[in-house]
Amino acid sequence: MQYRPNITKAEEAKQIIVADAALTIAFSLALAGGIFGKLGGFLALLPIAFIAVTLSFVLHELMHKFTAQHYGAIAAFQTSTMGLLITLGTSLFGFLFGIPGATVIYTNSFTVRQNGITSLAGPLTNFAVFAVFFIIFLFTIPGSYINLTASLVMFISILLAFFNMLPIMPLDGSKVLHWNKRVYYASLGIIFALMSVAYYSLFKSLTGMITEIIFMLFIAIFFSMFYRNVL
């Protein structure tokens, strides 16, 4: 038996827009140093973050939805009030715990393979976004606004892919790993390679990448505990 979400297409679109706006503001704040950063930096980052979040987060979630629907499930994006507050609240202090919402899937007939492929669809979308903006990055003037935009979109896209592919419930990685270990580890290897490229393109160094990975792992574990407590 399937349980239909109590959400219309118009309401779903509204919730996607709210999540997109919240995550755009949060990324801009976090990258600008939070409330202790400069207002000018925050305002300059807003349009770049909007492009990055819309392409990296929104498309990621929509691909989960479309893939789930392909397998006959009912799926809809839904925001989380607590998640929105955490997303915006943490960004005020210069770091980000971004959980404004997610695609909720309603079905009792998914196979392990279908669940794994549906979960992998989101990170694969991030790979595609990364590829497009890597080409833009290569063919634009270093240090230009377009070049900076491309490097930031690459960074945010692959950062979201990495976070989602951690093997911790309820993240995508736990379901992909349960389905196919080879696919999971191959995907993770690609993510680490692309993350190195994105990190270097933005910061011209890989020094802080390990710290970033450890921080994301800590955030994912906390998220997992929060998820279990909420449910």
Q: What is the residue range of 78's domain?
A: 1-110
Same domain, residue pair 198 and 213: yes
Active site residues: 61
Domain boundary among 85, 110, 135: 110
Across 21-25, 65-69, 128-132, 189-193, least confident range? 189-193
How many domains, in total, are found in the chain?
Answer: 2
- The verdict on residue 164 lying in a domain is yes
CB neighbours (10 Å) of residue 190? 17
Determine the average pLDDT of the residues in 20-31.
93
Residues 6+ apart with CB under 8 A from 19: 57, 58, 77, 79, 84, 100, 101
Per-residue pLDDT band at 41 (split at 50, 70, 90): confident
Whole-structure pTM value:
0.86
Same domain, residue pair 99 and 186: no
Same domain, residue pair 123 and 87: no
Determine the average pLDDT of the residues in 155-176.
89
Domain boundary among 77, 110, 143: 110
Same domain, residue pair 125 and 155: yes
pLDDT of 109 reads 84
Domain boundary among 69, 85, 110: 110
- The verdict on residue 159 lying in a domain is yes
- Quick one: which of 81, 74, 96, 67 has its CA closest to 175? 67
Determine the average pLDDT of the residues in 126-147.
94
